[in-house]
Structure 1
């Protein structure tokens, strides 16, 4: 799979990022989210350097990702429990039917 270059702008600087073909829109959407985080932090704390703003944004985004992974684990556990209950119910129904 070949890559294409996508230009994104973060805090006024433009970067050319290599991106797999077909993923350009996803990269642009992610870049918009990162830019929003960076701009929010920059506006709240004018005393931070670009590097500190980037680190804070990375930590915020990492925390959001962690929370989503935890939600996904919880959801997967719920689905596993429901599937087990459904399998058990079906097995019991089949056993009852075969004994009649």
Structure 2
């Protein structure tokens, strides 16, 4: 039997239900994302500085996006450091092999 291309998932965000279509294999990720968003929106709303669901949603989206971009930049920097470390290790290996008197390539 063929699996459906999409399933409808009902998620609750700030006590309001939303029906969202997604591929079956993404259901858990969607539910997790909705729980995360709901938690962030509740946190913002509880501070009482932002009024209105739309404004709370925008603030949550901005906060989550900021965190994502910051983590992406951090990962990119780490990847660059790792590439540089690997390059230096390869240079050391190459130097060691070049200076090896037992090498059969000479």
TM-score greater than 0.5 by the shorter chain: yes
Residue in structure 1 matched with residue 56 of structure 2 by the alignment? 53
Which runs of no fewer than 5 residues in structure 1 stay unpaired? none
Number of residue equivalences: 100
> Considering only aligned residues, what root-mean-square deviation do their CA atoms show, in Å?
1.8
Match of 1:12 among 11, 15, 20: 15
Residue aligning to 1:3: 6
Q: Structure 1 30/88 Cα, relative in aligned 2: closer, same or farther at 3 Å?
A: same
Range with bigger deviation, 70-79 or 46-55: 46-55
Structure 1 runs (4+) deviating above 2 angstroms are none
1:27 and 1:43 map into 2 onto residues whose CA distance is 24
- Unpaired segments ≥5 residues, structure 2: none
CA contact (8 A) 2:12 2:18 kept: yes
Cα shift readout 1:33-89 (whole Å, capped 9, x = no counterpart)? 100010011111265111110110011001110111011111101111111011101
Report the TM-score when normalising by structure 1: 0.91
Q: d(CA) in 1 for partners of 2:75 and 2:95?
A: 30
**Structure 2: how far apart are the matches of 1:47 and 1:27?**
26
Q: Which has the higher helix share?
A: 1
Comparing 3-12 with 39-48, which one deviates more in the overlay?
39-48
TM-score (norm 2): 0.86
Q: CA deviation at 1:6?
A: 1.0
